[in-house]
A and B are shown apart, each in its own frame.
Chain A
Amino acid sequence: MLYVGIDIGSTAAKAVLIDESKTRILTRILMPSGWNSRETAESILNQILSEGYSRDEMRITATGYGRVSVPYADNTLTEITCHGKGAAFLGGDNLTVIDIGGQDTKVIFLVNGRVIDFVMNDKCSAGTGKFLEVMANRMGLTLQEFFSFAERGRDIKISSMCTVFAESEIVSLMGIGTPREDIACGAVGSVVSKVASLVSRKNSHSNGKFFLTGGFCDSAFIIKKLSEGLNVEVQTAPDARYAGAIGAALLGK
């Protein structure tokens, strides 16, 4: 039996195929979630099948916002459980997992590989990937450009937590000629401080080891800023963006 995990998030859909012994990742798939999760789910399955695997030899577990739109899944689990499991696989059994997602940001506390507690940001998009995306758009930058701008910037304070207000704050900053570098740096700082405040609400659970999952795991700048903000070295792994999918696959029975 092979194990497939599908994590349909608000911006990106991730899938992995894991071998029988649940130790090796055989296939990774990454695509935009698109408008229609059902279609995205279909094309993920087609891609896996096109690699020569057959549906009968796979156990499929779906997670993420779009988990209900994967009609062929054998099982569904929430992204908290799956990210926890995936992070334990990638980074070890005793960790505080930070996942900065498109729609929400979560902090998951792992002890001996078990989720013992978690926090998610409130309903708004402060402290999430969405926040950065909106700010980048407003400045006419792609996310990648946005990060390289931020790297060269000075950390200024963006005081609005709310994405809508922060957006107009940024407009006024641009209006008075604040360099985009500084604004980008400030926006990243704002997300980091939101994450730090989520962590601090449950600080007693944390053993001081932090692990970043999700789409920002390959941004060295975010990791550096997070490490500064939390005052510890934040770890990650190349596959950390697949953590939810990996966890889902591992939890397949």
Chain B
Amino acid sequence: MADYHSMWESLGMDVKTHDLLCEALPGAFGDVYLSQENRPESMDYFNLVVAEIHGLRPAELVEHKKNGGKVVGTFCIHVPDEIPVSAGAIATGLCSGSQFWVPGGEKKLPAATCPLIKASLGARFDRTCPFFRLADMFVGENTCDGKKKAWEILSEDAEMYIMDIPQMKRPEDYAHWNEEIHGYLKKCEELTGNKVTPANLRAAIKLLNLKRKALQRLASFRKLENIPISGKDVLLITQIAFYDDPARITNQINKLCDELEERAKNNVSVFPKGTKRILLTGTPLSIPNWKLHHIIETLGGAVVCEEMCTGVRYYEKCVDESGSTIDEMISHLTERYMGAIHCACFTPNHERIDDIKRLAEEYKADGVIDVNLKFCGIYDIEGYFVERELNKAGIPVLGVETDYTDNDVEQLKTRIGAFLEMLGN
């Protein structure tokens, strides 16, 4: 790996502590990813991006900033990337998926907070993540209680912009989210000093739709009986899509898909025949959280779909491209970013259950695992409906609760192992 120490230092990072993370990551990545057999060759690009996760892309952001560009960090897929992009900023996802940052977050937050939130705050306050140094503005949203209050703490150290996401989906809520997106546009214009034109916004919508389409194309291979790529690999690509350059990753995903097409023609599968197909649903799996996929796939299952924010919710529907004025385009963004994402922060949220059932069928899942990050109240409570409705539909379901530590790996192996055995008999 190239040496990025001077860049990290100039970003004001705690380089010493950060080195510990740099030392741990290759081992973890090797165990989970490089040990897989028969991986598509085009995974090389993604391997490289992860190997240099805190170097390659951050260096590009540094370059962008040198030229007067701005970086906007986000934490939720309800917040449209099209807006900062159309204003000439770079948008990057910031959700953190490593235990490494959790103790730092616990210095400010109660231990009974979801690990995603704790890790995100820890990454900033401990100065051990370059993305958290590079963002000129952090966009928070009041989705769950944990995030909402954590942003108040984060704002003591970072430039925050908070969006008020409605918690229901009535016409007046859409109207409100529409206004919020308008406000976000103005804010991004102020931040970058660039006026957003209809042409810019249209281009941003097209650019990000292309990324979605590439991810949709990738997902389509997981519907096949012979699955040419592991669930782990698709998860990794989805996670990278949150922070990589959109045009470049789109190309790389499409290149990978060309290879997968060849594999599909020859009925190549990375799983043995009869492997049980699992749909995951629930809370997000932020990079580098590969725990569940790793457990499921080493126990002899295959993850075929994630009904998650790091999954189909991120890419399934495209933004309508027909708008010509800014207002029209923002209406279309509102439709997509509120209407097509079924997060447990909304009430009611039947659409999510419908999605799970639909996806289970489309991806021919044998069973569903409902994953809850510890202390995430909204998904935990919604698990009641997930379980009941899937039972009614005759789809086997297992609920698991977990965090970023390895303490529960053995228990998870027993539960998930038993679930796979149950599907097999």
B408/A78 in contact, CB under 8 A: no
User: Cβ of B421: which chain A residues have Cβ within 8 Å of it?
Assistant: 77-78, 80-81, 115
Please provide the chain B residues from 393 to 422 with a CB less than 8 Å away from any CB of chain A in the complex. Answer: 396, 401, 408, 410-411, 414-415, 417-418, 421-422
Shortest Cβ distance from residue A198 to the other chain B in the assembled complex, whole angstroms: 12
A interface majority secondary structure: mixed
- Name the A residues within 8 Å of B422 (CB-CB): 80-81, 114-118
Contact call A78/B425, Cβ cutoff below 8 A: no
- Interface size counted on chain A using CB atoms at 8 A: 17
Q: A123-B408, A123-B411 are in contact. Are A118 and B418 (CB under 8 A)?
A: yes
Instruction: Assess whether A30 is interfacial by the CB under 8 Å rule.
Output: no
Mask, A73-113, CB within 8 Å of B = 1, is 00001111100000000000000000000001000000000
Q: A81-B425, A115-B425 in contact; A122/B401 too (CB < 8 A)?
A: yes
Taken together as a complex, chains A and B put the C-alpha atoms of A77 and B422 apart, in Å, by: 11
Q: For chain A residues 98-153, which have a beta carbon within 8 Å of chain B?
A: 104, 114-118, 120, 122-123
Cα distance, A223 to B113, chains bound together (Å): 39
Confirm or deny: B391 has a beta carbon within 8 angstroms of a beta carbon on chain A.
Answer: yes
Q: Hey, which chain B residues are within 8 Å of A116, CB to CB?
A: 396, 422
Cβ–Cβ < 8 Å partners of A21 in chain B: none
Q: Which residues of B contact A115 (CB under 8 A)?
A: 418, 421-422, 425
Contact call A204/B414, Cβ cutoff below 8 A: no
SS class, residues of chain B in contact with chain A? helix
A204 close to B391 (CB less than 8 A): yes
Please encode chain A, from 156 to 170, with 1 for each CB lying within 8 Å of some chain B CB and 0 for all others.
000000000000000
Q: B392: shortest Cβ distance to chain A, in Å?
A: 9
Whether B414 and A80, one on each chain, are in contact in the complex, defined by CB atoms closer than 8 angstroms, is yes
Instruction: Tell me how far the C-beta of B355 lies from the nearest C-beta in chain A, rounded to whole angstroms.
Output: 22
Give CA–CA (A114, B424) in the complex, Å: 10
Question: Chain A residue with minimal CB distance to B415?
Answer: A120
Contacts of A122 in B (CB 8 A): 401
Q: Once the chains are docked, how many angstroms separate the CA of A40 from the CA of B413?
A: 22
Closest beta carbon of chain B to A213's beta carbon, Å: 15
Establish whether residues B396 and A78, one from each chain, have CB atoms under 8 Å apart when the complex forms.
no
Contact assessment for B425 and A114 in the assembled complex, using a CB-CB cutoff below 8 Å: yes
Which residues in A have their C-beta under 8 angstroms from that of B417?
A: 78
- B contact residues, total (Cβ < 8 Å): 13
Complex contacts, A77 vs chain B, CB 8 Å: 421
Q: Which of B391, B401, B414 contacts A78 (CB 8 A)?
A: B414
CA distance A78 to B425 in the complex (A): 13
Interface core residue of B408, B410, B414, B418 (most chain A CB under 10 Å): B418
Question: CA–CA, A115 to B401, complex, Å?
Answer: 21
* B391 neighbours in A (Cβ, 8 Å): 117, 204-205
Residues of A within 8 A of B396 (CB): 116-117
Q: Which residue of A lies closest to B420 (CB)?
A: A78
Quick check: B401 and A79 within 8 Å, CB to CB? no
Contact at B414–A79, with CB atoms within 8 Å? yes
Closest B residue to A104 using CB positions: B411
A80 CA to B422 CA in the complex, in Å? 9
For A123, list chain B residues within 8 Å (CB).
408, 411
Q: How far is the CB of B177 from chain A (nearest CB, A)?
A: 36
Chain A residues with CB under 8 Å of B414's CB are 65, 78-80, 120
Nearest B residue to A201 by beta-carbon distance? Answer: B387
Whether A78 contacts B411 by the Cβ 8 Å rule is no
Q: B425: which A residues are within 8 A, CB to CB?
A: 81, 114-115
How close is B312's CB to chain A, nearest CB, in angstroms?
26
A252 to chain B, nearest CB (A): 14
**Residue in A closest to B424 when the chains form the complex, CB atoms:** A81
Identify which of A115, A122, A205 gathers the most chain B CB atoms within 10 Å of its CB: A115
Give chain A residues whose Cβ lies under 8 Å from the Cβ of B415: 80, 120
* Segment 49-82 of A: residues with Cβ below 8 Å from B: 65, 77-81
Specify the chain B residue showing the minimal Cβ separation from A103.
B411
Q: How far is the CB of B358 from chain A (nearest CB, A)?
A: 22
Among the interface residues A77, A79, A80, A122, which one has the most CB atoms of the partner chain B within 10 A? A80
A161 to chain B, nearest CB (A): 16
Point out the residues of chain A lying under 8 angstroms from B411, CB to CB.
Answer: 104, 120, 123
Min CB distance, B351 to chain A, in Å? 24
The answer to whether B401 touches A81 (Cβ under 8 A) is no
Least CB separation from B421: chain A residue = A81
Q: What 7 pairs across the A-B complex have the smallest Cβ distances?
A: A80-B418, A78-B418, A81-B421, A78-B417, A115-B422, A78-B414, A114-B425
Known contacts A80-B418, A80-B422, then 5 further A-B pairs from the complex at CB < 8 Å, ordered by chain A residue: A77-B421, A78-B414, A79-B414, A115-B418, A120-B411
Which residues does B use to contact A, with CB under 8 Å? 391, 396, 401, 408, 410-411, 414-415, 417-418, 421-422, 425
Residues of chain A having any CB pair with chain B under 8 Å: 65, 77-81, 104, 114-118, 120, 122-123, 204-205
Would you list 12 pairs from A and B whose C-beta atoms are within 8 A, ordered by A residue? A65-B414, A79-B418, A80-B414, A104-B411, A115-B422, A116-B396, A117-B396, A117-B422, A120-B411, A120-B414, A122-B401, A123-B408
